[in-house]
Structure 1
Amino acid sequence: MGRHLVPLTVDNLADLPDRCRSCVFWERAPDGADAVRRTGRAELVKREWTVTVLREWGSCGRLAYVDGRPVGFLLYAPPSAVPRSLSFPTGPVTADAVQLMTAWIALDHRGQGIGRVLVQSMAKDLLLRGVRAVEAFGDARPRAASASEPYGDCLAPARYLEAVGFEEVRPHPHVPRLRLELRRTVSWRVDMEQAWDRLFHSGRPRGVLHPA
């Protein structure tokens, strides 16, 4: 089974799920996002945002593929590039942190460790760039409400974030803010290399990775 992980680029932006490729929830303030959706330009705006962040800041995402099919991704950026975060009751993101905006794993590939490997790859990238921490707004809402406004389904589940090492720093019943101290992920290096080998260079992983 061919598996590989790559940085997000303008060329592979089209491999995001349709609903994510045309979503500007994070990239615009609430009023601005609504205006973009009404004009039908959301996919173009998403592309322009990605181009700008890549040019001015650097890598801002990771995609996972299995046999050529995209099965997972995550997106991250400095808080200054994520205006929606200012509208959260548990915001803002701490100044020394990068924001993990969202993460997605295909239903038929959840529980295989892909989500953990994506976070580990992000951590390695950011450590090399001198970043101290990553923060995220977790979705702690009941499953039945997870697609409802005002947050839609654009947040990573809080339980997923906790499973991959994030800790709650600002509690909230629906949208807690969580933080991952990257200096603590240095000890992940061997684990990441083993996970990479097990997940991306062999067959189906054998049960030691945390579920996505």
Structure 2
Amino acid sequence: MTQDVRIEDLKENLLDDRISVCGDEQPVEQLSVQKGIGEKKQWLRKMLEESSSPSKILYVDNKPVGQILYYPESSIPFLKDPDPKMLHVRCSFVHLAQQGKGHGKALFKSVVNDAKTQAKYDRLETVSFDPPGCGLSQTAFWKRMGFKERPEGEPHELEYLINGGLTRPRKNNPRRVGEKGVKIFYEPTCIFTHQFSDRIAEAVRAIDPNVSVEMVNMWEKPEMAKRRALVKGCVYINGKPMKHSIFDGEEFKREVQALLNPED
């Protein structure tokens, strides 16, 4: 039986469809996810107003089952000297039952075709990640689409060329600042952002229940991120950026302990 497949650019009236692609198969009833959904909708609306469509939605028989998220580097408010010729591809996802049918490729090719038609961009970049439960490895998928590893970059820092040669990725060298407490810097581009941020806050408070913890949306408070020279999310404890992530387990806990109690 032939299926009806189409791709739509995101519009205001399609916001719920866009959110549902990532949320249909996940526990969206969690308060942290609901907060993430609210922030992402607000961010998507702002992008639609100030830039252009930051996402495409793939429908199969009128059901939204796939998405790709992207935006120009020039729209990122906390970056120093953004490259006007760079388009960031943040993520793409197709429902598990619809994977392996060419839908992810169709979404990406639609973005590339737009970029070539508009003649605004020379390259696309992505930082691949492979979250559990999402099926096909994003790293493998992007490389199949033609992305290459960048000079002096990590294996997950990838670039797709339209014109010119490969460029070096930005290095994240966060600065120390004079302050007390904990600040968790994040971007509102994923509905699951606060799942991770809340886990970080819980891990920190397990060590010091009285410590002040502040969540900082880098798109809403870009000056705070600029002051620290951040190019991505980061956790600060008493003015010092953490080196380990929540996924590093005991190493993360030891670093939290050391930064909260430097005299121990």
TM range (shorter): 0.5 to 0.7
- Is residue 111 of structure 1 aligned with residue 100 of structure 2? yes
Pick aligned residue for 1:75 from 65, 69, 84:
69
Once the two structures are superposed, residues 106-129 of structure 1 have per-residue CA deviations (whole angstroms, 9 ceiling, x without a partner) of 111111111111111001112233
Q: CA deviation at 1:16?
A: 3.0
- Residue matched to 1:125: 114
- Residue matched to 2:162: 182
Q: Equivalents in 1 of 2:16, 2:70: separation in Å?
A: 17
Larger RCO (CA within 8 A; separation ≥ 6): 1
Pick aligned residue for 1:138 from 124, 128, 133:
128
Q: CA deviation at 1:55?
A: 1.7
Once the two structures are superposed, residues 76-114 of structure 1 have per-residue CA deviations (whole angstroms, 9 ceiling, x without a partner) of 012354579x7xxxxx98663111011001111111111
Question: Is contact 2:74-2:84 (8 Å) kept?
Answer: no
Question: Is contact 1:93-1:135 (8 Å) kept?
Answer: no
Matches within 5 A, 1:35-74: 41-74=35-68
Amino acid at match of 1:131: Y
Once the two structures are superposed, residues 122-179 of structure 1 have per-residue CA deviations (whole angstroms, 9 ceiling, x without a partner) of 011122331111100012x6xxxx34xxxx97xx711110011111115435xx2111
Q: Percent identity?
A: 23
CA separation of 1:2 and 1:131: change in aligned 2, threshold 3 A:
same
- Residue matched to 1:207: none
Structure 1: runs of 5+ lacking an equivalent: 22-36, 87-91, 185-212
How large is the Cα RMSD of the aligned pairs?
Answer: 3.2
Structure 2: runs of 5+ lacking an equivalent: 24-30, 165-264
Max radius of gyration: which structure? 2
- Residue matched to 2:15: 13
TM-score (normalised: structure 2): 0.49
Q: Which has the higher helix share?
A: 1
Q: How many residues align?
A: 151
Q: Equivalents in 2 of 1:137, 1:83: separation in Å?
A: 18
Aligned with 1:73: secondary structure? strand
Q: Equivalents in 1 of 2:97, 2:33: separation in Å?
A: 34
TM-score (normalised: structure 1): 0.60
